[in-house]
Amino acid sequence: MNAHAERLNVDPDSSIVAQFEPRIIGFLCNWCSYAGADKAGAAQTPYPPNVNIVRIMCTGRIDPEFILKAFAGGADGVIVLACHPGDCHYKEGNLRAAQRHAMLARILEQMGIVRERCRFDYVSAGEGEKYVQVITEMVETVTNLGPLSIPR
């Protein structure tokens, strides 16, 4: 039985498991990660369509509340993609984002949301293939985790 079916306590062949398509919100840096996504699209490289992109000027501008609202609004996962360290157009916004993500991951775990549902990574403008790889991995991870059920 896969982890997804086990978590839902259903038969792995049931329609619930077969129909689950994760909803993932992606916060992408305008200068690097969004350009990397654009490069993947321009190259017509196939990747899962499960990520709804929010284009932001810098990942350092992401308030942790945005991520909490994404989960509260029904997202099964959130991914933040930043410029590589040393390449931020706003000097160190990406480093600030990495620090916030580490803090937020601990808070999410206390709320019952496993760390794997909120990923932080680096993708540059020239890394269309890496963008596809990261998105594919995130979709597979969240699919295996199953739908998010926030404990109340």
Q: Over pLDDT 90: what percentage of the chain?
A: 85
Give the Cα separation of 46 and 5 in Å (integer): 27
| C-alpha distances out from residue 42 to 36, 45, 75, 98, 152, Å | 10, 8, 27, 28, 43
- Yes or no: say if 35 and 125 are a contact pair by the CB < 8 Å rule: yes
| pLDDT single digits (tens) 53-93 | 999 999 999 999 999 999 999 999 999 999 999 999 999 99
Does some domain include residue 45? Answer: yes
For residues 33-61, average pLDDT: 96
Q: What H or E segment, with its residue span, contains residue 120? A: strand 118-122
Does some domain include residue 108? Answer: yes
Question: Residue 112 sits in which domain range?
Answer: 25-143
CATH of the domain at 112: 3.40.50
Does some domain include residue 115? Answer: yes
pLDDT tier for residue 14 given thresholds of 50, 70 and 90: low
pLDDT tier for residue 9 given thresholds of 50, 70 and 90: very low
What pLDDT, on a 0 to 100 scale, did the predictor assign at position 12?
53
**What is the number of domains present in the chain?**
1
What pLDDT, on a 0 to 100 scale, did the predictor assign at position 1?
42
